Amino acid sequence: MLTFAIPKGRILEPLVALLVEGGVKEARGLLSLERDLILFARSFDLRFLIVRDRDVPTYIAGGGCDLGVVGSDVLMEQSPDLYELIDLRVGACSLKLAELQELAETDNPSIWTRIRVATKYPRVTQRFFRERGVEVETVTLNGSVELAPIVGLAPRIVDLVSTGMTLKQHGLVPVIDIMECSARLVANKAAFRMKKTEIERLYLALRGAKESLNAKV
């Protein structure tokens, strides 16, 4: 049996659509789980574990799961020791630096030398700006990052933007695009060798599903 880490949150719905299209019909049940954190899918001999998206690499690299799905934003931040098998092209969003509208009106990013940024992505943020000669002091948060500029914790944030509604709702505007992100299928390195046939079967099912869903758009 394969143990498969499924991230809760924004990726879940499109991921379930992909799994169902790929023939894992039982995956529909992932949308109606309440307290349960485990779901079995007999068709592919799978056991799904529902975890926080930033914990997916820990489960997989630590051998608790054979494979799973996680955002490329999390992979870039954590650089975990695992195999990235395919870009599933679901859960697409961008990582951006944003600030309050009032600041953006007079701000000039081309002359920044040192900035203070609140973010869930301190490593990606540091790396991005260091390469551009800007020193960054990061304030690491685990969520609701949009509140930081409002209460003066940091004037700028680096966060994921999908529809842009959360930024707008909090008077923030995007100023710099850092990277595009999407969900990746990843595998534990040892499991990839020892359970190659089973992992390959699932990989091919998901790849086929991705192609057929893209063709329908």
How far apart CA 217 and CA 212 sit, in angstroms, is: 9
Which of 105, 113, 114, 143: binder of ligand PRP (CB under 6 A)? 143
Beta strands (DSSP E) in 10-112 are: 38-41, 46-51, 67-71, 83-87, 93-100
Tell me the two tokens of residue 63: 């051998």
Q: For residue 156, list its beta bridge partners.
A: 99, 117
Among positions 39-98, residues that touch ligand PRP (CB under 6 A) are: none
Q: What is the smallest separation between the CB atom of 89 and ligand PRP, expressed in angstroms? A: 17
* Interface segment toward ligand PRP; rule CB under 6 A; list 97-105, 106-114, 127-135, 143-151: 143-151
**Number of chain residues interacting with ligand PRP (CB under 6 A):** 13
Contact code string over 159-178 relative to ligand PRP, x by CB under 6 A: xxxxxxxx------------
Q: Are strands 38-41 and 156-161 parallel, antiparallel or unpaired?
A: unpaired
The answer to the question of residue 9 lying near ligand PRP (CB under 6 A) is yes
The answer to the question of residue 10 lying near ligand PRP (CB under 6 A) is yes
Is residue 157 within 8 Å of 118, Cβ to Cβ?
Answer: yes
How many angstroms separate the Cα of 12 from the Cα of each of 28, 66, 88, 151, 157? 10, 18, 12, 32, 25
* Interface segment toward ligand PRP; rule CB under 6 A; list 26-34, 40-48, 83-91, 155-163: 155-163
* Interface segment toward ligand PRP; rule CB under 6 A; list 17-25, 32-40, 125-133, 142-150: 142-150
Chain residues that interact with ligand PRP, rule: CB under 6 A: 9-10, 143, 145-146, 159-166
